Amino acid sequence: MPQVTAKKRMTFAQLLRKGFFLTLGAFIAGFAIECFLVPNKIIDGGVVGISMMINYLTGLNLGLLLVAINLPFIFLAFTKMGKYFVLQTFFAVAMLSVATNIFHHINLVATNDLLLSTVFGGIILGAGVGTVLKNEGSLDGTEIMALFLSKKFGFSVGEIVMGFNIFIYTVAGIVLTWESAMYSILTYFIAYRVIDVVLEGLNSSKSVRVISDKAQEIGDTLISDLDISVTYISGIGGYSKQDKTIIYCVVSRLEMSKMKEVIKQIDPYAFLSVVDVHEVYGRRMGKKIEKI
């Protein structure tokens, strides 16, 4: 019985945490939209961009437009993406609607400089959208629509989203100005890159695979001299058909240069494969880590 209670507590805490970050992300995005983009007639892509365009043309409430236009896509996702995703997305979109209305009534214009609005609006918008995506929600139904259309027509999700946004920015150029459309594209690009940073982090770790006939010696040296934890993987050479020992480890950017020096000294002919790592979970079994 106590175990069930503890599990319920943990689940409730997780829901609170997720709700907090979905709300935070939505309010960050709402701040970017109302304080940087809307006052300078810069639009975002996707459903948010359509909502902003209709708002410019008709004066209808942007928050209500965001909910109304997103609703069909949210219901579309219900059967395929699960009720939790749908509920979290609906909650995030509702919070975005609330946020845009709050910031609209505050009437806070951060800057009238188009370039500053583009850059900082894109950064802040990307941070907000990324926060929502990282907590398994969404603020835009475009990708949901693209997911369904890709299965029906054979195009990739990326191609459909790109085509949709090209259409939006072309209309923006005609309805607003081509200068506004170009700034909008730049905003979208900046936001897209920031979303990647939020989702993947600024982790500068590298995963390294080393193939060498002196694998054991290299591994022992990395452990003893550099305090780098390694894992040995068994393999077979494609040409030689001989057993090979592959060293696998994850190191920081600072450790990388020293590691290459050590390997070169032991075996100048060792083969190294280095890949960027965006996220690392768990603890490596090294002396420094164990002391923490």
User: What pLDDT was estimated at residue 284?
Assistant: 54
pLDDT in tens, 215-232: 999 999 999 888 888 999
pLDDT over threshold 60, residue 6: no
User: What pLDDT was estimated at residue 128?
Assistant: 92
How many CB atoms neighbour CB 102 within 10 A?
15
How many CB atoms neighbour CB 250 within 10 A?
19
pLDDT over threshold 80, residue 145: no
Which position has the token pair 């983009």?
A: 37
pLDDT over threshold 80, residue 154: no
Rounded average pLDDT over 186-205: 80
- Map residue 250 onto helix, strand or coil: strand
Domains of the chain with CATH codes: 2-200 (no CATH), 205-291 (3.30.70.120)
> Of the candidates 43, 288, 55, 75, which has an alpha carbon nearest to the alpha carbon of residue 188?
43
> Of the candidates 121, 60, 125, which has an alpha carbon nearest to the alpha carbon of residue 96?
125
What are the residues whose beta carbons fall under 8 Å from the beta carbon of 138, sequence distance 6 or more? Answer: 85, 89, 92, 93, 132, 144
pLDDT in tens, 67-124: 999 888 888 777 666 777 888 888 999 999 999 999 988 877 878 888 999 999 999 9
Pick the residue with more confidence: 260 or 163?
Answer: 260
pLDDT over threshold 50, residue 259: yes
User: Would strands 271-277 and 205-211 be described as parallel, antiparallel, or unpaired?
Assistant: antiparallel
* Contact status, residue 156 vs residue 149, Cβ threshold 8 Å: no
CA-to-CA distance for 103 and 83, rounded, in angstroms? 30
Rg (CA), the chain: 25
User: What pLDDT was estimated at residue 289?
Assistant: 39
Pick the residue with more confidence: 61 or 148?
Answer: 61
- What is the edge-to-edge ordering of all strands in the sheet holding 231-236? 231-236, 243-251, 205-211, 271-277
Instruction: Read off the pTM.
Output: 0.71
CA-to-CA distance for 224 and 30, rounded, in angstroms? 51
How many CB atoms neighbour CB 10 within 10 A?
10
pLDDT over threshold 50, residue 2: no
30 CB burial (10 A radius; 0-12, 13-18, 19+): buried
